[in-house]
Amino acid sequence: MTCAVQQEICFECSDTGTAGQVDGIGQTRNRLLCELPQDELAMLLKTAEMVQIRPRQVLQHWRLPLEHVYFIERGLVSVSARVDDDFVEAWLVGSEGFIGAPLVLAEEQQITTHRRIVQIGGEAARISAREFLAVLPALPATRRLLKRYLQVVLFQASQFGACNAVHSVKQRLARWLLVARDGLDCDELPITQEVLSQLLGVRRATVSEAVETLQREEVIRASRGMISITDAEALRQVSCACHDLVHREYLRQIQSSFGSKGGTPDYRASGSASR
């Protein structure tokens, strides 16, 4: 797959994805939405609007009520936990997921205990929290799908927490790049090493050293504000097993259970992030 970066947004240049037509917002590439029955999809997105999400935009503030649910079409969003006076990434959301988990769990308006901030810009289908909660009881397949996705999120957060405690920075960086590649469906990641150091919770110099090592091994290419994955399979070998564990759980919970009616791909394809 060929990707082009325009205005800090990674867009697919081909039309070969699993996009489906959705009334109100046009086509969707969100993998959760692609799994829904057409009647429930239409009900869910009846009041949705397609919005741009921009780097460093806060979609949900810490300790404030959730105002919207976002189904990510393109882009990456960090869900971050408060640690002392700073925020540390707990998990990452791209086109495989959505933002608004507390509403699904409680089925009522909630104050969020995490901050959701855009790391790589793109687009999302946005629904107001009030309208989402109003329609959710009438959507049994949607509730089941989103709760299964939340099981993946819980596993991902705990697995990556353990990863951060025991694995090397080089392995953790490789894992983060693979997860970002999956969520963005793109080998070109418009992100700075400064941001990566914040997300991984290490010094900028430590990230730079790991990036240089991966470049020497010819698995990535780094330039100003951009990291390009040149050999995804080699990067997977460098990474710890945490990425593959989470990926397999996503397949088990989402694709295997729902039959991939939307043609959701195995996005671990070697060499390029093709659908």
pLDDT in tens, 11-32: 332 233 334 445 555 578 899 9
- Tokens representing 124? 């999302």
How far is it, in rounded angstroms, from Cα 241 to Cα 248?
11
Helix (H, G, I), strand (E, B) or coil at 197: helix
pLDDT in tens, 181-229: 999 989 999 999 998 988 888 899 999 999 999 999 999 999 999 999 9
- Read off the pLDDT of each residue in 116-125 and give the average, rounded to a whole number: 94
- Read off the pLDDT of each residue in 30-36 and give the average, rounded to a whole number: 94
Q: Check if the beta carbon of residue 132 is closer than 8 Å to that of residue 107.
A: no
pLDDT in tens, 221-250: 999 999 999 999 999 999 999 999 999 999
Strands of the chain, DSSP E:
3-6, 9-12, 20-22, 26-28, 49-53, 58-60, 68-83, 86-93, 98-99, 115-128, 188-189, 220-223, 226-229
How far is it, in rounded angstroms, from Cα 129 to Cα 126?
9
Q: Which residues pair with 26 in a beta bridge?
A: 22
Output the pLDDT for position 26: 57
The pLDDT of residue 85 is above 80:
no
Q: Which helix (H) or strand (E) holds 254?
A: none
Q: Residue 13 corresponds to which amino acid?
A: C
Output the pLDDT for position 115: 85
* Cα 251-199-2 angle, rounded to 5 deg: 55
To the nearest whole number, what is the mean pLDDT of the chain?
A: 82
- The model carries a pTM of 0.81
Query: How far is the CA of 120 from the CAs of 3, 125, 128, 185, 208, in angstroms?
Result: 14, 16, 22, 12, 20
Output the pLDDT for position 260: 56
DSSP annotation of 261: T
- Read off the pLDDT of each residue in 145-171 and give the average, rounded to a whole number: 92
- Tokens representing 48? 């949705």
The pLDDT of residue 88 is above 70:
no
Output the pLDDT for position 113: 79
- Read off the pLDDT of each residue in 242-261 and give the average, rounded to a whole number: 82
- Tokens representing 228? 């390009």
